Structure 1
Amino acid sequence: MPATLTPAAWHTLSLPLNPLLGLGGVLLGGLLGGHWLMRILRVPPATAYVLMGLLLGPAALNLLDRDMLADVQLFIDLAAGMIVFQLGRRIDVRWLLREKRLLASSLLEALCTGAAVAGMLLWLGVNPLAAALAASIALATSPAVLLMAVRDLRAEGQVTERALHLTALNNVLASLAFAVCLTVLERVPGDGALPWLEPLAQVLGAGALGVAAGALMAWLGQRLPAGDSRQWPLLFAVVVLTLGLAQLWTLAPWVALLACGVAARALDRRESLAEPDVQPLGTVFYLL
């Protein structure tokens, strides 16, 4: 046995994991480790969970390696899907259309962020297409971190609402930019098709799928009494179906779920649908 338990030695000593054991390890390690970091560093829960994930994951100790994370990817996708859907439920389309400056500031913010990241990578000698791909990733804002901070701080008001709407817009722009860059990167030489048509169709198709799913959710929700215990399974079922169809049809899944949340709120005029963040299940989603 080695004198010190290195990450490599850990994997030689540990038992083979199935997806459920991996899921339990991710949740327990994140919860206990995040609590420890909150006490030591005095940081908010969202920051502690991010730091703990970085520490346990492949980038540092590699106690949760890529194979283990691949085993629990389905659970992570479901958790992330519910969080993105929840963000969509916070978006007020009518208010967003009135606040044209918010849309302009989102575009300006995305342009400045992308230009800064791409410019720095080009200066460091990175391939232009790879720099553009990285810049498109940098446009995204984590819905999980923002929503968890809003919930923990009980934040309300104009600044909070603008931050939520900016996050939604940033992720739509990031999805489109990333799809365009990836398509150009994988483009076969001599292909005459315009490189932006396919990713644009993926984003627009995802938006249409999300609107249809949100309309179905609102229609079914209005046929259940307000506060009915079946509301939560209804929301979860439609989110899972939307995520599955987006993956099956190679559409942008987070755009579909964001549009689903937006449409469900806009079309639920009786406000009969339950809120998707249900304790303690909501905390499990944020942990994942």
Structure 2
Amino acid sequence: MLISMFAHFERRGVKRLRDVTGDLTLEWCWSPVQGPDGSAQEPARNFARDRQWVARAAFKVAAQLGAQLDPNVAAGAGIKRGDPDVAARPLTDQELDRLCACVDAGTAASRRALLVAMYMAGGSAAEAAAVRTRDIDLDAGTVTFLGERARVCALDEWSARAIARYLRANPTAPDERLCVKADTPRDAAVDSVSIRMWKVIKEAGFSSRSGISPRSVRLAAARQVLESEGIVAAARFLGSPSLDNTAHALGHDWQFQHSTACLSAPDSSARSSGAAGSAGCASNEGLRVIEDPR
């Protein structure tokens, strides 16, 4: 990415970092990317945001080395995340197997496999970045996600095995975060998880036109919950407050048949788990139904 960024600056006649402006950096962030067929395509919002994160990190290093620039000003106005419910589709079972094979190091521990396991358990980038050793219960085959939609979600057999291998090879304190370094600030931690997941997806051979993003891994797992336990369980698995949004993200057509009262009490949703036999995803949050006006 840095080679691309500096090449873009040079094409614009900028050869010194102190002359870099926020507008110039944003222009690069949103510059076209090359598709698998060689055609130029507009980058996804999250990819543009990843580019900006890389630029800001490079500017910070340059400033520490004496360059005369403000990293935050040079990086431009922050690019907000895109809507993952709209941007992603669930992976098929075959695609999920392909992704797991890409990161599975056999008997060796892999942090990339650990990251994929968190997504397969229903965690978002922010939730995965916050998971600590104490949040993993391998005996029960579960992981606890904290935040606005705190919940306990099941680990399938592959995920439980990947996490167990990592913990055996990397003994950690109960309060230590698993997916990022201990001293990483929250926003940087979330960006780090997102960027590494995008890298895994690209290394697995998925093109930018495939409709696949890191959230696709979560949606693939949620689809399995949907098929076995229904839409309410799938929404809780994802930590989503909306059944309509969940159904839309999973490509599921459903009819509003129940009152919101029946959704207010937490329920158990399950995925098949080799580590736990039968494991669930429970939340202390109720769900609300948002009816589609169409």
Please give the TM-score of this superposition, normalised by the length of structure 1.
0.31
Which protein has the bigger strand share? 2
Please give the TM-score of this superposition, normalised by the length of structure 2.
0.31
Higher relative contact order (CA 8 A, sep 6+): 1
